[in-house]
Amino acid sequence: MHACEQEIMSTRNIRLRLAYDGSGYFGWQVQPGTRTVQEVLEKAIRSLTGEDVRAMCAGRTDAGVHALGQVVSFPTSSTIPARKFAAALQPRLPGDVVVLESAEAAGDFHATYSAVSKRYRYVIRCAEVDDPFFARFAWRVGVSLDFAQMQSASQALLGTHDFRCFESQWPNKATSVRTVLEARWTRCDRWPAWSAEPLDVDGPNETANGEFLCFEIEADGFLYNMVRAIVGTLYDIGRGRWPADRMQTIIASQDRAHAGETAPARGLYLVRVNYEERKNPATAD
């Protein structure tokens, strides 16, 4: 057996789930002269295993965008048990990037291409003044927003559409057609984790006058700046610039100039990535 064949056979595929504060990063992807999440993760892997690998992610988050559940895969010939990669990598990473879990993945698993859907959350804080604890993690707007109108408009996003009207620098992909599985707003009276007041045991309340508006959207894929452009458009509807049914017109126009401005990166979170679960051949019927 040739040495190259032995190397191929000994290579494993590791899957990580990450959370990170994107405030101090120029996005996910390695770029010369900038600090990126991919760069610090690959350096940590190199420090641990001695290998130069390319870590592939589920979603290439932009500068300032956060992640609660980014998924990464990378090949390795290391004999470190898969579940121990999380603890072994953490001391080699900055404190604003955390490996939540690590596991062995199938050889053909790819964090990007194996994903079947992704969920993003965008947080708007409706308040007249800034707060030092929220400034990096929510978009503060100093106007009141019509929650019902924004909720109504978001329903036009559901289903399969050409979303080029929400894509910056179109075209970036082979196609701008995507399928949105869920799009909805939730209004909360306080931040679930960081409030100075005791938290409700049942979680955040959905109230008529809560200052936090959270937009959740899940789709089979997203275009460049798509979620932020959608939020910017819904913001314009919420502040009364356009009626709710304008969303359908914007989508049909397929023209970025007809949609709203791109919302700031700081309010956006990659929440979760979904993959098809495979049966173990040994236990399959």
Q: How far apart are CA 256 and CA 163, in angstroms?
A: 9
The total of other beta-carbon atoms located within 10 Å of residue 22's CB is: 27
User: Under a CB-based contact definition with an 8 Å cutoff, are residues 212 and 269 in contact?
Assistant: no
Q: Is the dihedral of CA 204, 206, 212, 214 positive or negative?
A: positive
Q: Where are the alpha helices (DSSP H) in 1-36?
A: 3-10
Q: What is the CA radius of gyration of the chain?
A: 21
Catalytic residue status for 62: yes
Q: Of 21, 62, 200, 202, which residue is the catalytic one?
A: 62
Exposed (0-12), middle (13-18) or buried (19+): which is 98, by Cβ within 10 Å?
middle
In sequence order, the β-bridge partners of residue 180 are 159, 219
Give the residue numbers marked as catalytic.
62
